């Protein structure tokens, strides 16, 4: 007797195609455009969630690199509350940094969105960290302790399009999570 799989066979193919399209979009989008979008995002988050930056006291001057491994993109975050910086880079060698967090797009989004536990991701090797671990733990605690979703704040910078893209990413993330457990 045939069993019905929890995840249809074409879901993995759709996820791969979506990731390929996103990877192509990231590679072909000029960095100034990406950095303009990231600048809008960090300003909105600074305005809406100033407590995140207070929680990072002592680490404001540090530079955190978030490497999105499956997109070949690296984000540099300097959480100075008076002038926060978030910028995109294609080569990590171009970024002097104090701490680095690496993972796939869905893993990083799920962690920041509160869907995934950062400690569990670290111990299962879904997330890699290096550099100033005290600063990384401080950042993680600041994100864990806030109410609401910083990802929703970022999506809101782009109106209905941002919200729709976030819904799609969350849906793909749920499918990805289920396919990892079946």
In a domain, 113, yes or no: yes
pTM of the model: 0.81
Average pLDDT over residues 147-159: 84
If one compares 62 and 14, the residue with the highest pLDDT of the two is: 62
Average pLDDT over residues 74-78: 95
Residue 50: C-alpha distances to residues 47, 62, 82 (Å): 6, 17, 10
Q: What are phi and psi of 6, to 5 degrees?
A: -65, -35
**104 confidence band (pLDDT: 50, 70, 90):** confident
If one compares 147 and 96, the residue with the highest pLDDT of the two is: 96
Q: Is the pLDDT of residue 26 over 70?
A: yes
In a domain, 142, yes or no: yes
Distance CA 51, CA 44 (A): 13
In a domain, 66, yes or no: yes
Which pLDDT score is estimated for 114?
A: 72
In a domain, 4, yes or no: no
In a domain, 111, yes or no: yes
Domain with residue 63: its CATH number is 3.30.1050.10
Q: Which run of H or E residues covers position 153?
A: helix 150-156
Average pLDDT over residues 29-44: 92
Domain hosting residue 121, numbered range: 22-181
**87 confidence band (pLDDT: 50, 70, 90):** very high
Residues 6 or more apart whose CB falls under 8 angstroms from that of 73 comprise 26, 67, 88, 89, 90
In a domain, 82, yes or no: yes
In a domain, 13, yes or no: no
**107 confidence band (pLDDT: 50, 70, 90):** confident
Q: Is the pLDDT of residue 98 over 90?
A: yes
**15 confidence band (pLDDT: 50, 70, 90):** low
Q: How many domains, the chain? A: 1
Which pLDDT score is estimated for 179?
A: 46
Which pLDDT score is estimated for 12?
A: 62
In a domain, 124, yes or no: yes
Residue with tokens 């249809």: 8
Q: Is the pLDDT of residue 54 over 60?
A: yes
């Amino acid at each position: 007797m045939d069993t019905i799989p929890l995840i249809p066979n074409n879901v993995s193919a759709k996820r791969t195609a979506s990731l390929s399209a996103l990877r192509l979009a990231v590679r072909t989008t000029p960095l100034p455009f990406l950095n303009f979008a990231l600048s809008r995002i960090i300003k909105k988050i600074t305005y809406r969630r100033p407590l995140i930056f207070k929680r990072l006291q002592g680490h404001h001057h540090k530079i955190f690199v978030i490497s999105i491994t499956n997109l070949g993109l690296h984000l540099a975050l300097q959480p100075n509350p008076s002038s926060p910086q978030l910028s995109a880079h294609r080569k990590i060698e171009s970024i002097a940094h104090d701490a680095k967090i690496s993972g796939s797009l869905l893993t990083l989004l799920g962690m920041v969105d509160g869907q995934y536990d950062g400690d569990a991701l670290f111990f299962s090797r879904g997330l890699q960290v290096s550099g100033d671990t005290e600063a990384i733990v401080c950042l993680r605690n600041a994100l864990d302790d806030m109410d609401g979703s910083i990802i929703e704040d970022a999506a809101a910078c782009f109106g209905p399009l941002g919200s729709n893209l976030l819904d799609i990413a969350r849906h793909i993330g749920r499918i990805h999570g289920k396919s990892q457990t079946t």
